[in-house]
Amino acid sequence: LTQLEDMLVDKKSYGLFVIDRSEAAFGIASGKRIHVQEHLVSNIMGKHRQGGQSAQRFERLIEEAAHNFFKRATEHASSYWLPNLEDIQAIIVGGPGATKDFVVKNDYFHHEIAKKIAKTTFDVGYSNDSGVRELVENAGAMMGEIELDAERQVMNVFLGELVKSAPKATYGEKMVRQALDQGAVGRLLISEALRKSSLTLQCGACKHEWDVSLSRNEPIPNCPSCKASGENAEELKNVSLIDELTVMASKSNTEVVYISVDTEEGSQLLYGFGGLAGICRYPMM
């Protein structure tokens, strides 16, 4: 794995870019990690012109050097982000002065990158490694909102499918398992608040084996074969339900999306659909 691929595993990453006329830096934030990929220094001359140069010519040279520097910095950053762009939630831009807004407004970034640039730019003290880290601090609230918005969009796709006559969606553990077994699930939605274990039990009386999913405080049910008390059942397997479903998902190249309970849609997934849903590759009913 490259550094970038490794950091994109959790699918909630942000491109970071800071710039002024003297320097620029860019990288990525993922989870609690910040990686600064490159720090560039411009060769824009100062405002003191050399003898023999007209003021206009000198000004033109400065602007040309600035243009070339902005182009170089944005091209380097775009090349870094583009191969994994689908896993980047947004590109966040900052800097100490007006340069950051000038660069965004004048289309210096690759057109695919430009689509992901956050509407708000942020003031930071420097355009180097420390500026990149300050950018993450200043943009924290917005990054959280972007994540919640992405979750809402996924949930709305699922809810939109449910009302169709031939929905490409399923929910609840039993139906989701069936769909995963068939390789039918494109995206598996799991509530971050789902706390269940997948158990295989053996009845102490008749030795019948059965599978059941239980939350921590749920009592073990009676044997489905002889109705003997579950208290005497032997536990043959106990794994996290989320881990088990994630392994099933990986076998059919299913994307796993974790949904928080911080939105109305996220609460609906947990309380209305048992914390599990699937957006399918074809209709399931």
Same-domain status, 186 and 94:
no
The last residue of a domain, from among 138, 157, 175: 138
pTM as predicted: 0.63
Instruction: Find the length of the chain.
Output: 285
Confidence of residue 8 (pLDDT cuts 50, 70, 90): very low
Contacts 24+ apart (CB under 8 A), 118-124: 118/90, 118/91, 118/92, 118/93, 118/142, 118/146, 121/93, 121/94, 121/95, 122/92, 122/93, 122/94, 123/94, 123/95, 123/96, 124/18, 124/94, 124/95, 124/96
Question: Which residue range is the domain that position 95 belongs to?
Answer: 3-138
- pLDDT, mean of residues 111-138: 94
Do 47 and 156 share a structural domain?
no
* Statement to judge: residues 10 and 35 lie in one domain: yes
- Which of 138, 163, 197 corresponds to the end of one domain? 138
Quick one: 7 and 134 in the same domain? yes
Buried b (16+ CB within 10 A) or exposed e, 91-102: bbbbbbeebbee
The CATH code of the domain that includes 258 is: 3.30.1330.30
In a domain, residue 285? The reply is: no
Percent of the chain with pLDDT over 70: 92
* pLDDT of amino acid 1: 43
Q: Is residue 31 pLDDT above 80, yes or no? A: no
Can you give the CATH number for the domain in which 126 is found? 3.30.420.60
pLDDT tens figures, 172-188:
999 999 999 999 999 99
* Per-chain mean pLDDT for the chain: 90
pLDDT at position 142 is: 85
Same domain, 128 and 10: yes
Q: Is the model's pLDDT at 216 over the cut of 80?
A: yes
Number of domains in the chain: 2
Query: Which pLDDT value is given to residue 96?
Result: 95
> Is 255 part of a structural domain of the chain?
yes
Confidence label for 157 from pLDDT (cuts 50, 70 and 90): very high
What SS3 class is residue 62? helix
Asked if residue 143 is part of any domain, the answer here is no
